[in-house]
Amino acid sequence: MPLPPLSLSLQIARFDGAGAHRAALPRHHVARWLRHALGGEVQAAEITVRVVDAEEGRALNRDYRHKDYATNVLTFDYSGAPVVAADLVLCAPVVAREAAELRKPLAEHYAHLLVHGALHAQGWDHETSEQDAVAMEARESAILQALGLPDPYARPARKR
């Protein structure tokens, strides 16, 4: 099955260290990650990805979700299938901190969060129930593994 067409706007705000984030987000990788995250009922998508600093991330989370802290990814979905339209806002300092804590490359964590945000744009939600959370995590894992990336939810094997 061919992947749906994607109209992508990739924006990186001006902030200290933006170059590392720009390097982790080559446009062709971002488009590939997002297109793979789009479900079979999606015929096309228009997605803006914006990478912001902590101040803008916090303000958006506060104004739209009434949570006064910067979060890793915010999804603003405007229309669902068959044509998905959404803005995905990623907070660079939060993404970088999480990637370091998880000991994973910055680009790999961005891939996960972009897939996560794209699923939200299609109506997936992990906050509605445990069953929905498990289903969304499984979908994210399958998409990332199909892209050749590790399962972000895999637990490390215990040493005996």
Q: Is 66 annotated as a binding residue?
A: no
Q: Is 120 annotated as a binding residue?
A: yes
pTM for the model stands at: 0.94
Token digits for 29? 């990788």
Give tens-digit pLDDT for 97-119: 999 999 999 999 999 999 999 99
Confidence class for position 1, pLDDT limits 50, 70, 90: low
Q: Which domains can be identified in the chain, with CATH numbers?
A: 6-146 (3.40.390.30)
d(CA 154, CA 159): 15
Give tens-digit pLDDT for 130-146: 999 999 999 999 999 99
Q: Is 28 annotated as a binding residue?
A: no
d(CA 73, CA 83): 21
d(CA 38, CA 116): 11
